Amino acid sequence: MMHFKGKYKINIPLMGMFINKQITVFNDNIVTLLGESFFLNRAINDELNPIQYICLGNSSNRARKKDISLGNEIIRKKCIKTVDLDKKRIQLTASFQAKEISGTREIGVSNGDILITHDVYNESVDDLLTATTGEITIDYFIELSSGAIRSTEWAPVSGKDNTYYLVEPNNVVEVIENNTGSGYSKIRPMATLSGTIKEVDDTKSSFYYDTNSKNLYIHTSDNLPPSTKEIIVFTR
């Protein structure tokens, strides 16, 4: 099972009398159902236009696999496209003025007709934009990974009500619960592993992959065991 995953970086230069550095805001996002269809169709015909735009909008509604457009698109820019064969990914780059990004909350890429990826980010980007009036570069990555259904190998984590784990030797890039049609949120590591697992236990539809132990921890969408779901684990 092949899978496409979107990632992006918003590169914000901060310059002033006593400061000259770049802050990068980054996140993963989803490839929409239409986006998956786009990639499959591009592999066998040339009826669809290639990816052309990075798009921004100001809706804060949660991004979903079934989305066909941004919640409220306000600007799009043509992007420069490169391919990294070693990392199995496409890189898209476009430049925006700070005032064009101010107030935006969502991002995606499009071929002009189809919304291929979608994500919503928080208000912290606006806070950073107050320190710059210059050009903002957005790098967008679409990565190819392979996945498999993993429904019978999970074990409960001792002392936790909602967290289950299994051993996965390959780096996990995404987890999808097929019945919900959306991906799990990736929990960022806390100061300790126990603290990170607690965060998973407190967050429905979430996962954390520990690269040291090779354990994948998940919390399903309704607190029920993974054995009651069709859990797809994507690795690279």
DSSP 101: H
Mean confidence (pLDDT) of the chain:
88
pLDDT of 134 reads 79
0.85 exceeded by pTM: no
Number of Cβ atoms within 10 Å of the Cβ of 21: 8
- Using CA atoms, how far apart are residues 157 and 142, in angstroms rounded to an integer? 33
> SS3 breakdown of the chain: % helix, strand, coil, rounded to 5?
15, 45, 40
pLDDT digits (tens, 9 = 90+) for 190-234: 999 999 999 999 999 999 999 999 999 999 999 999 999 889 898
Residues with Cβ within 8 Å of 126's Cβ and at least 6 positions away in sequence, in order, are 102, 103
Instruction: Judge contact between 27 and 7, C-beta under 8 A.
Output: yes
Residues belonging to the chain: 236
> What residue type is 14 in one-letter code?
L
| Confidence bin at 3 (pLDDT 50/70/90) | low
Q: Which residue has the tokens 């986006």?
A: 35
Map residue 226 onto helix, strand or coil.
helix
Going by C-alpha positions, the residue among 139, 63, 134 that lies closest to residue 105 is 63
pLDDT of 201 reads 97
pLDDT digits (tens, 9 = 90+) for 54-92: 999 999 898 888 999 999 999 999 999 998 887 778 899
Q: What are phi and psi of 202, to 5 degrees?
A: -90, -10
| Mean pLDDT value of segment 95-113 | 92
pLDDT digits (tens, 9 = 90+) for 143-196: 877 788 888 899 999 999 999 999 999 989 889 887 666 678 899 999 999 999
- Using CA atoms, how far apart are residues 218 and 167, in angstroms rounded to an integer? 12
Q: What are phi and psi of 36, to 5 degrees?
A: -60, -40
pLDDT of 161 reads 96
DSSP 166: E
Q: Where are the alpha helices (DSSP H) in the chain?
A: 33-44, 98-101, 124-129, 193-202
